[in-house]
Chains A and B, each alone.
Chain A
Amino acid sequence: MTITPEQSAWFAETFDTLVANVGEALLGKDHVVRLAFTAMLAEGHLLLEDAPGTGKTSLAKALAATVQGTHSRIQFTPDLLPSDVTGVTIYDQNTHEFTFHQGPVFASVVLADEINRASPKTQSALLEVMEESKVTVDKVSHSVGRPFMVIATQNPIEQAGTYRLPEAQLDRFLLKTSLGYPDHASMVEILSGSASRDRTERLTPKITTGAVADMAVLASTVHTDAAVLDYVARLCEATRVDAQTALGVSVRGGISLVRCAKVWAASQGRGYVIPDDIKLLAEPVLAHRIILDTEAEFAGVTSTQVVGRILADTEPPAARID
């Protein structure tokens, strides 16, 4: 079954509504917002890395506020324990039973703020939930439900008091992007409206969790030509043989790219993926999955630059594969 033109049109329209809603709180960041929704509809998680005060938390909150559902926030600190994330089993004296108290991770949209300030042990607890969509405490599994999306923010790695996320765990984030500073006009507007402390508070939900699940199903039916898949495979292979990488993109990375591309194509009202979708998403989807060669790292090369170079060197498909 393939998405019909009518369905893709509806998808695009809904998508635009969601983006516009978040846009009210987060001025001038449409592209990042689209990427965030793409991660949500591809049923993945989003990692925002940026300097403090650029609106990471606002984005996460606005995203959560747009979707009708539960959302929670965990502020990661060095002394945060895994059970503070997942929840604990407590003995109820009234019932004489151990009952499970759900942690903040049991929500549709979870904002994990400053994830790299917590200890690796706590980080791992969250990342396990992200991977498996369930919490196992005392041999009992508790599903976190659908949709489930973690929006993690982190300060740039070099900052003091941070624990670097291990590569294997970084791989679990579907997309990694940054907000950057707003442009001049948006800045002026933000400043003029500074009286209202939090713009996200005014947002109303625009979509039910059920509809989000529908859209995710719809997006997975977007047609992807073999030539495009071949292109993705070539890109992934290129990251593996590149002289400046120590470790290339995993298979999961390639799958993630295709999943995101499908959502992105549908959000443009298209029922098929084109190489442009791949090109556009390659950097946010692949860059954080690449481990650079030590030499390249010393030379100041970033993985974003490597992905950009590979994109420029790899010929996108122009024809179907016979």
Chain B
Amino acid sequence: MSAPTSAPTPTPATTPRSTRMRPQGRRAWVDVLVLVIALGLALLPLVPVYGWPAATPAILGGLLLGAAIAGAGARWRWPALVTSAVSLVVYLLAGGALAAPTTTVLGVLPSLQTVVQLLASIIRVWKEVLTLDPSLGASGTLLAAPYLLALVGAITAVSAALRAGRRGGAWAGLVPVAVLGLAVLLGTKDTVLPVAAGIAMAVLLLGWAAWRRGNLVPRRVLALVSLGAVALASGAVAGPVVAEQSPRFVLRDEMVPPFDPRDHPSPLAGFRRFVKDWDETALLTVRGLPEGTPVRLATLDAYDGVVWNVAGSEAAEGSGEFRRVGETIETSVRGERTEVEFEVHELPLVWLPTVGYAERFDFAGPRSLDLAADLRYNDATGTAVLTAGVAAGTRWQTTVVVPSVPDDEAIGNAGTGNVSLPEVDGVPDAVPLFAGEVAGTATSPVLIARTLEQGLAERGWFSHGLTAEGQYPSLSGHGADRMTTLLTGELMVGDGEQYASAMALMAREMGLPARVVLGFVPDEEQAGAQEITIHGEDVQAWVEVSFAGHGWVPFFPTPDESRTPREDTPTEQSEPQPQVVQPPPPPPDPVTPPDDDPEQASTEDTEEDAFASQIWRTVLTVAVAVGIPVVLLVLPLLLIALAKRRRRERRRTAAVPVARVQGGWEEVLDHARDLRRPAPRASTRREIAVGLTAAFAAPHGRSAPADPDVSTRRAATVGGPVAGLAAGADAVVFGPGEPAPEQVEAYWQQVDAAIAAMHEVVPRRQRWLARWSLASLRARRREQRRARPQAR
């Protein structure tokens, strides 16, 4: 890094040069060191999000690069645009190695993908960081968040410190504080030495700011004591914010990640748990369940050779999507409409029991609003989830449409439904063989399905495999090998999990759109009762096949529970089994960021609070995701505007009237400097007025032709007011006595008029650039620096 020494000041011959330059150079180094350390402390809350090994290079690299850019910018006085451009280039070049190592060539060289992803990350990474579960590690471009915060924070803070005046530069200390706020919001509840870090940062920044502002004189014991008190008090105030005494507020908690069914284990794989662990447990009570209608828990339409699972929204259209719902849900299914009431006693899953296709959910109890906010409903499969899990005691009433089940005659020769489902994977060879053997002669889709159902139900034997209860051994699961065992084994034995899975796979092989449903079928004793209590043993899995014009029709391929194989049934024959090639294990799910906003708000217009809170949460999410980068970009501009406004007010309200008039003149000079027309050095006001008039009359840009008329007009527009101001200021400053308040007021009006005239004659682009230009702020700092040794 180049030495960010201050601008070389012309030293009068009376002052030895060496005594002047060194403290300024040292001071700049202290500024950089203090701010980098403070920013490092501020970014500590992000470390648990990524883990030390991943976060350290990104944060340290960002800080050092940012400080280097700011230092170089201050050293060679880059305008804001150049600094921004350099920052962007450095962000992209170094970002590959520091923040997105997985996208680079050899872990260092940024590839095209790196650049594209890093650019997109400026906007997208914030939400990704909030929605993914820590620890995130170094995958993708997730590290762009700490890297960007460190880089931009360091550039902003160091630039402000090096370029602003000695006293004004202390405001740069606010940048680490702002970064700390963002880091806490983006962070987790786990923290790294919160109290120590908070106090260290407070002491460091306050001490530095005092030193910058020249208040730190060791002899002033009182000042030191009060400084220490303020530091301790701030540490004590900031401590609880950073500490865990009350849970820290982090945006992560407020973010509701979009529901992805793939995050949850296949409910079908947990089939045995129902019959084994919750056999006699009352899981839920249903009131008003139409007779013969099963209760649905989950609909599974994706098979990967290991399990049937609920497909994600992007798998296929037919899989539907788990969305937030409004007050009512549109359903296209025709059938009997009825009211059903549920009460869950114990069902520790995310899946919410449903019947038919729901039109509305009304949760009861004090948490009804939270539950409504957690609810996601998939209208394609009639499945609902509560993202936070279904707690015991959850009660709700639901209006449902129960489609009538057509018989085979009604379906007749109807074709299969036009539904796209996720492709099944890793289907064992036994499945098509068995399907062909059983249903090879069937003539219509419904007959194929029916033949498969009957074939399984009639040939198979039933067992939950609970050998402890004397049942026939039967393995759980429905992977490819279990299917092969089922269909080609000596004895076809299993329960709903295996039979439904096998039938669905066979139906798929035969070209039928089929899916597996996990749910409960109440036992016959309770059938038709007003209030039905469902136990674990009521669990069942069945198959639904879609027919054109009739929708999804259920098939129950599981043999009757009474069809249990007897012990004496010959089982252990040493017949060689065909070697089954196991399908390769499925590739691990790639960590892909969720879509930007998969939870589209329902189009239903509602005034219910629950829905309003949903909207607010969405708005908050979007606002945070968009706001953080916007704030990062806008913050420097805002600081510049504030600094200029503050400078103007200070000048206008100076204690001495002469100083007010003089400040007015300086305001004009600063505007001219921001407009890239600095006043000539070592000149009197009148000379400056002449110089400025010429500068403003000159053609803009090198290529512009010199038009004498335009130049004359510009010279007249700017020259008059500026010359008047110069003479006026001279009269007040060098004349005897003090000016009257009205005189000062009139002078400031002329100042405003002159500034307006200067802005009027330059092109719009320059006007715009001038507004955010740091030129005048930097120049004032240099002047103060020059003036200081003289004042001593």
Contact = CB atoms under 8 A, between A and B. Distances in A.
Q: Answer yes or no: do A and B interact.
A: yes
Interface of A: 2, 223, 225, 227-228, 241, 270-276, 279, 311-316, 318-320
B14 interface: yes
A223 B682 contact: no
Contact of A225 (B13, B681, B683, B733): B733
Nearest to A314: B682
Interface in B514-532: none
B14 A241 contact: yes
Output the residue of A225, A273, A311, A319 with the most chain B CB within 10 A.
Answer: A319
B353 to A, nearest CB: 83
Nearest to A265: B734
B735 interface: yes
B658 A320 contact: yes
B736 A316 contact: no
A272 B682 contact: no
B327 interface: no
CB-CB nearest 9 A-B residue pairs: A272-B735, A223-B736, A275-B684, A225-B734, A274-B730, A316-B684, A276-B684, A272-B734, A274-B734
B735 A271 contact: yes
Nearest to B680: A312
Given A271-B736, A272-B734, A272-B736, A241 B13 contact: yes
B402 interface: no
Contacts of A276: 684-687, 730
A318 B735 contact: no
Given A223-B734, A227-B733, 12 more contacts: A223-B735, A227-B734, A241-B13, A274-B684, A274-B685, A274-B734, A313-B10, A314-B682, A315-B681, A315-B682, A316-B684, A319-B658
Interface of B: 10, 13-14, 658-659, 662, 665-666, 681-687, 730-731, 733-736
Contacts of A314: 682
B659 A316 contact: no
A220 to B, nearest CB: 15
Contacts of B733: 225, 227, 318-320
A316 B734 contact: no
B736 A319 contact: no
Contacts of A318: 662, 665-666, 685, 733
A271 B734 CA distance: 10
A241 B682 CA distance: 19
B298 to A, nearest CB: 81
Output the residue of B10, B665, B666, B730 with the most chain A CB within 10 A.
Answer: B730
A241 to B, nearest CB: 5
Given A241-B13, A315-B682, A272 B662 contact: no
Contact of A316 (B14, B658, B662, B683): B683
Contacts of A2: 736
Contacts of A227: 733-734
Contacts of B686: 274, 276
Output the residue of A2, A276, A313 with the most chain B CB within 10 A.
Answer: A276
Nearest to B661: A319
15 contacts: A223-B734, A223-B736, A225-B733, A228-B734, A272-B734, A273-B734, A275-B684, A313-B682, A315-B682, A318-B662, A318-B666, A318-B685, A318-B733, A320-B658, A320-B733
Nearest to B686: A276
A237 to B, nearest CB: 8
B36 to A, nearest CB: 36
A316 B735 contact: no
A214 B764 CA distance: 56
Contacts of B659: 319
A296 to B, nearest CB: 16
A35 B76 CA distance: 46
A146 to B, nearest CB: 28
Nearest to A311: B682
B651 to A, nearest CB: 12
A312 B734 contact: no
Contacts of A241: 13-14
Contacts of A273: 734
A311 B681 CA distance: 11
Contacts of A271: 735-736
A313 B681 CA distance: 9
B735 A319 contact: no
Nearest to A271: B735
B193 to A, nearest CB: 49
Contacts of A316: 682-684
B14 to A, nearest CB: 7
Nearest to B729: A318
Contacts of B730: 274, 276
Contacts of B734: 223, 225, 227-228, 272-275, 320
Nearest to A272: B735
A320 B656 CA distance: 11
A312 B682 contact: yes
A260 B694 CA distance: 30
Contacts of A274: 684-686, 730, 734
A266 to B, nearest CB: 13
Nearest to A322: B656
A312 B682 CA distance: 6
Contacts of A320: 658, 733-734
Nearest to B13: A241
A65 to B, nearest CB: 34
A279 B684 CA distance: 9
Contacts of B687: 276, 279
A279 B13 CA distance: 21
A257 to B, nearest CB: 15
Contacts of A312: 682
Nearest to B735: A272
A85 to B, nearest CB: 42
A313 B686 CA distance: 17
B737 to A, nearest CB: 9
A311 B682 CA distance: 8
B733 to A, nearest CB: 6
A271 B658 CA distance: 17
B648 to A, nearest CB: 17
A44 to B, nearest CB: 23
Contacts of A319: 658-659, 662, 733
A273 B682 CA distance: 18
Contacts of B14: 241
Contacts of A279: 684, 687
Contacts of B658: 319-320
A60 B687 CA distance: 32
A95 B685 CA distance: 67
A319 B684 CA distance: 11
Nearest to B662: A319
A225 B14 CA distance: 25
Contacts of B735: 223, 225, 271-272
Nearest to A242: B13
Nearest to B685: A318
A242 B488 CA distance: 110
Output the residue of A223, A241, A315 with the most chain B CB within 10 A.
Answer: A315
Contacts of A313: 10, 682
Contacts of B666: 318
Nearest to B658: A320
A318 B679 CA distance: 13
A312 B14 CA distance: 17
A110 B123 CA distance: 86
